[in-house]
Structure 1
Amino acid sequence: MTASVPDLLRLVAVPVLGWAAWRDVKTRRVPNRTWLPLLGVALLALALEAWQVWTGTTVGYVNQQAYFLRTTISLGFVIPLAYGFWWIGGFGGADAKALITLAVLFPTFPTYLFPDFALPVVVPTLGVFAMTVLSNTVVVGLFYPVALTLRNAAGGHVAKAMVIGRPVATERVTEEYGRLLQTPDGFTRRGLDLDALRMYLAWRGASFAALRADPEEFRDPASIPAETNPPGDGAIAVPDGGRARPEEDAGADDPSVDADDEARPDEGEITDPWGAERFFEEIEGSAYGTTPEQLREGLTVLTADDEVWITPGIPFLVPMFLGLLLGLSYGDVLYAVIEGLGVF
């Protein structure tokens, strides 16, 4: 394979973004330090390539005007776009940082020459590679709900939530990332965030098993210790998402306690059911946008049902990584489809 030095440097994005996507799936957390070295490589490659284009020392002919226009679009449009999506809540912080880094790293299309062919294959007229990665990401993401629906149907899980979620055993929800798709009244797209659930359990110093074993006790805010614990960030650190006390574990193992036999309580009987208001008053910041009402409704469902629907919410970095691989090999998928339809 033959390529310019800047384009060879840019290939470091593949293992870094691949690792970040894997990390995002496992923990939903990507350290900030992931992007700084890659951004350093991006600035080096951009400075070297810009100098080569300006001085006319590139391998092969490069249109100076087109190059700098595409670079301006990548830096001046894609970066603010990524920041804007993060600001309105459409992107997570890691998603925005990844796209911003790619906008600096790939302002134009790279070229990799092989003996009989060159990659990428499909290069759109615009020629801004970061835009291609973004459009490829969207295309890849469209296949996820299709695959999820087919998987649910094959397993006999047919429900309103089958397009965006999957059923899990309630006792395992603290081992999952995502949101509940249920309230006591039925389907919802904005149920309890499972990170917020783990934060709540850590704050109470309680295990999820104990909460399910005796929901009436936990529903009473008087059962909350006078000295609560730091809630953490909700990342999966221990299997049950909380720090179980010995007496709670004993209650959880009591076969006479069956969460299925508990009727859903009337939350109007006591003030601040589950201590939800107190939880949000004591923690610093928000729990991933969760409200006290969402917490109450989620806890009511989780202490009554043996199986619940959650949306796993595939991390955006996963389709972005696949979009990068598609861009480096095939090129712009959406452009190829539109061109194939005769629009261009």
Structure 2
Amino acid sequence: MLGSIPDLLRLVAVPVFGWAAYRDVKTRRVPNRTWTPLAALAVALLLWDAYAVWTGPTAVGQRLFLIRVAISLGFVVPLSYGFWLVGGFGGADAKAFMLVAVLFPVYPVYYLPTVALPLQQSAIGVFSLTVLSNTVLAGVAYPLAVAAGNLSRGRFSLAMFIGRPVPASAVTEEYGRLLESPDGFDRSGLDLDALRMYLRWRGCSLADVRADPDRHRRPASLPAVPNDPGDGSLATDGGEVADDGDGTGRGDAPAQAVADRSDAVDDPWGAERFLDDIDHSAYGTSPAQLRDGLEVLAERDEVWISPGIPFLVPMFAGLVVSLTYGDVLFALLQAVGLA
């Protein structure tokens, strides 16, 4: 494969994004240090290209380059940040797309013996927009694949396009969100990371809750000194309580009921106290969501969850497709005469 040195160096992004997507699937956590070296490389390559274009022979080429870079940095970067602000992107997703905007503002070119890649360029010529549109298309295909899998297994539910059934006793081993409340299907059910945080905080397991839900509903059953809830990741705490021999998960806190609370307090499951006690948000969980989720998990044998798809997975797929085929959306619009 032949290409300019900057374009060849940009291919370093492929294994980095592949590793990040894999880690996002396994842990839903991508370290910030993942992006730092690639960000430094992206800035250096952008300056390299800018110098090459600016000292080039044509003013037209200079203007096109500047316009495309301006669109990539001035549109894709703020768009990614905006999606993060409203909760549409996770932090790693936003950083990754901002990185794409800097690393791939214009189309790279790779020469194979018989063809040049990418095969299909868009009319605008902003490669980060191509990666974005291909990522969206890859994301849209996911619920169709989920529905097909559920149909093939005879699983029918309102949640069949976005979720799958799992044993209620095993949800602490999963990532995602409950798709059920006591009233039925609910797309805004309890986040399973928040559930792990809650169980760790109060020093019990989901099996304990299911074995004696009435006791755990009572605020008086809360520990006097709650545990550090962690961040809910399976990678860091596995959803298990780090037992130090006294049943609390920490060596200096005896397992005893809260002295200044009674069963008369209107706080079933201690949901409000949990969310008030932790020093950060439990992924936007409300007391009502936590209570409803615990009620469902305490009473049912099987529940539907939305495992979701970490956005870095379709982003990685979108990047690979963009570097090889090119702009799928533009090709589709051309095929129906709209481009």
Give the structure-2-normalised TM-score: 0.92
Hey, what does 1:242 align to over in structure 2? Answer: 241
Q: Could you say what the CA RMSD is over the residues aligned between the two structures, in angstroms?
A: 1.9
For residue 91 of structure 2, what is the amino acid of its counterpart?
G
Whether 2:302 is the aligned partner of 1:307: answer: yes
Deviation at 1:62, TM superposition (A): 7.9
1:172-197 deviation per Cα after TM superposition (whole angstroms, max 9, x unaligned): 10011110000001000000000000
Worse-matched range after superposition: 22-31 or 233-242 = 233-242
Structure 2 letter corresponding to 1:94: A
Contact 1:109 1:127 in 2 (8 A): yes
Deviations 1:296-331 (A, max 9, x none): 000000010111000011011100000000000000
Runs of 4+ in 1 over 6 A off after TM superposition: 245-249
CA distance in 1, matches of 2:202, 2:231: 14
Letter of the 2:162 counterpart: I
Counterpart residue type for residue 283 of structure 1: I
Separation in 1, partners of 2:264, 2:314: 47
User: Which residue does the alignment assign to 2:22?
Assistant: 22
Q: Assess, with a 3 A threshold, how the Cα gap between structure 1 residues 246 and 213 changes in structure 2: closer, same or farther.
A: farther
- % of aligned pairs identical? 59
3-state SS of paired residue (1:41): helix
Find out whether 1:185 has 2:183 as its counterpart: yes
Native 8 Å contact 2:54 2:62 kept in 1 = yes
| Contact 2:200/2:229, CA 8 A, preserved across alignment | yes
User: Which amino acid is 1:9 matched to?
Assistant: L
1:308 match: secondary structure: strand
Q: Any idea what the Cα deviations from partners look like across 1:217-275, whole Å, max 9, x if unmatched?
A: 111111111010111111014554434687979xxxxxxxxxxxxxxxxxx98620000
The equivalences for 1:164-243 within 5 A come to: 164-236=162-234, 237-243=236-242
Letter in 2 for 1:4: S
**What is the DSSP-based 3-state SS (H/G/I as helix, E as strand, rest coil) of the residue aligned with 1:168?**
strand
Q: For residue 101 of structure 1, what is the amino acid of its counterpart? A: L
- Between stretches 270-279 and 179-188, larger displacement belongs to 270-279
Q: Deviations over 1:113-166 (max 9, x none)?
A: 111100000001111111100100011111111110011111111011001110
Superposition TM-score, scaled by structure 1 size: 0.91
Matches within 5 A, 1:7-156: 7-56=7-56, 63-156=61-154
Q: Contact 2:232–2:239 (CA<8 Å) still a contact in 1?
A: no
Match in the other structure for 2:277:
282
Structure 1: stretches of 5+ with no match in the other structure: 250-267
Tell me the distance in 2 between the aligned counterparts of 1:294 and 1:243. 26
Structure 1 residues 62 and 175, CA gap change in structure 2 (3 angstroms): farther
Q: 3-state DSSP class of the match of 2:106? A: coil
Question: In the aligned structure 2, how far is the partner of 1:245 from the partner of 1:295?
Answer: 27
Structure 1 partner of 2:253: none
Decide whether the 8 Å contact of 2:269 with 2:291 is kept in 1: yes
The DSSP-based 3-state class of the residue aligned with 1:335 is: helix
Structure 2: 5+ residue runs without aligned partners? 249-262
C-alpha distance in 2 between matches for 1:53 and 1:240: 53
Pair 1:79–1:322, CA change in 2 (3 A): same
